Amino acid sequence: MKDKIFFAKNKAPKNANNRRGRLIIRNLPFTTDEEQLKEHFSKFGEINDVKLLRKPDGKLIGCGFVQFIVKQNAAKAIAHTSGKDFGGRSIVVDWAIPKNKYETIHTNKEKEENISVKEENVEAVIEEDKTEIKEDSSDDQNNLEKPKTVEDYLTLETIKDECENFVDFETKDNENDIKRKRENNDDDESVISATNKKRFKSHDVKEGLTVFFKNVSFSVNNDELKRFVKERFGPVYYALVCVDRLTEHSKGTAFVKFRDSSSVEACMSSSPEDLTLNGSTMEPQMAIDKEVLDKNKDDKVIHKDNRNLYLIKEGVIIAGTAAANGVSVHDMNKRLELEQWKSQVLKNLNMFVARNRLIIHNLPANMDNKTLKELFTKHTRPNAVLKVVVMRNLKKVDPNGVPISKEYAFVTFKQHEDALKALRSINNNPNIFNSNKRPIVAFSIENRLVLQARQRRIEKSKTSNPLFNKQQPSTSSTENKNKKFNTENNNKNNRSTALSRKKTAELPEYTGITAKEVK
């Protein structure tokens, strides 16, 4: 029995029969929620339904649906959001079509081609609601059966195929590209290729006569575009509006091949007024060969460590190394427990490693905030420490009425480099407390949602405080302070770059592993 996909509880849209403005959004961040998704798309028009798909255990699968009341607003959302960044990921936005229509299309292809290929993720979008689908033509409406349950639309297997490892078949894709994307897939199942026929490789781009247009009105067809361009810039061989192969909707882009280079120059140097068609100002640019485009995309790929995971290994002591010499069994066991806890906690994508905040374990029971701050100040720059908090058990107090220490604390620094220097100097140092109970220092792990909630409370408190605006400094003085701070910040960063790249040989033997930042 196939696993089912569960939706976050949400009321069905009032106008449930009108599904033409429904979009599917893929490659969503796993930390997003319905409110964030709705806020991102609501600037393009009124939305009456937002759904994120989930596994039975409640985890997101990176795929969701947005229902616009007006179809034109949905088209506008596709044009402005598909391929753009949302929450640190490049999302793919497309029209949603019912599953049974998608299956009908590919069943017909299977009969015609009779080809068995390796398992492939086909660019298709699956509708998920229980209601009847309203299609553009009566023929399509007659061919589609009304599903009885949500499960008739979505299963875990289908959604994994469509949303996790989807293949985006662009207008210029050819069969060789598709085969190359299939090489790493398993042989257990087979689906039919999204292309109906073999495509020849065009050399139009190399001739320098082909122009690519963005922001083309969704209502424009090939003939209308060809006539428009011909009247303004000169004769053309063809004008092709890029159309999605499954939904048959325009993608809002087009290719035009001119007959001579003078027409191309006239088009590229034209004013926005000369490029306005059906209310949309088209954006021309020279068409790029697909191989060059793919290479440029590869060159622009930047691997970002948004959660600072490279810092998690900073200060780790490995048994058998020089740093582990003289470390007690108790300390090694405690370090092992902490590392196991870190690995488990960081499976939650909302958790990240703070760059400016340290956590220190194995504190003496009598150490307070002031003493600990003096210790860290001694091992870094003056005024580098912002805040020190020794954690205490408020339910248990000593004879003096002071809550008992939990023997760990948090230390916040102005700069990351100060925190790094303090960690490498204090962590596992046998001369700080005693050789049998050495300080265990690491970068703190924080919860992004908790920090955001705290910031919202602070902002709400500020807005509700009538004296807050009066206490604010003037704009000019604030700007001057910001400029001064930025200048000092840049100078400090330049000076501290050498610290983060310091060779292990220059550090104390007890330091442990030193992390290398991912660039």
Domain match, 242 and 348 both = no
Closest CA to 424 of 299, 259, 288, 311: 311
The residue segments making up the domain with residue 225 are 205-300
CA–CA dist 467, 465 (Å, integer)? 5
CA–CA dist 154, 299 (Å, integer)? 37
Strands (E), 287-384: 351-361
Return the pLDDT at 108. 62
Return the pLDDT at 148. 39
Q: 453 — phi, psi (to 5°)?
A: -65, -40
Return the pLDDT at 486. 52
Instruction: Output the domain CATH number for residue 276.
Output: 3.30.70.330
Question: Is residue 488 a part of any domain in this protein?
Answer: no
Question: Is residue 224 a part of any domain in this protein?
Answer: yes
Closest CA to 513 of 335, 331, 329: 335
CA–CA dist 446, 239 (Å, integer)? 54
Return the pLDDT at 498. 44
> Mean pLDDT in runs of 10 for the chain (519 residues)?
46 52 90 91 92 87 91 88 87 83 64 45 39 40 40 44 41 43 40 40 70 90 92 91 78 90 90 88 86 64 73 87 87 90 90 93 90 91 91 86 90 93 90 86 92 89 73 52 51 46 56 58
Domain match, 175 and 212 both = no
Rounded to the nearest angstrom, the gap between the alpha carbon of residue 258 and the centroid of all alpha carbons in its chain is: 39
Query: CA 12, 13, 17: angle at the middle one, nearest 5?
Result: 105
Closest CA to 182 of 254, 115, 88: 115
Question: Is residue 329 a part of any domain in this protein?
Answer: yes
At 302, list the tokens: 């930047």
Return the pLDDT at 355. 92
Residues 6+ apart with CB under 8 A from 133: 19, 98, 101, 127, 141, 144, 146
Return the pLDDT at 174. 43
Q: How many residues does the chain have?
A: 519
Is the distance from CB of 413 to CB of 332 less than 8 angstroms?
A: no
Give the global pTM. 0.40
Question: Is residue 486 a part of any domain in this protein?
Answer: no
Domain match, 136 and 105 both = yes
Is the distance from CB of 350 to CB of 447 less than 8 angstroms?
A: yes
Tell me how far CA of residue 174 lies from CA of 170, 222, 290, 461, in angstroms: 9, 21, 10, 58
Question: Is residue 17 a part of any domain in this protein?
Answer: yes
Q: Quote the crossing angle between the two packed helices 416-426 and 475-500, to the nearest 10°.
A: 40
Domain match, 362 and 502 both = yes
What's the number of domains the chain is made of?
3
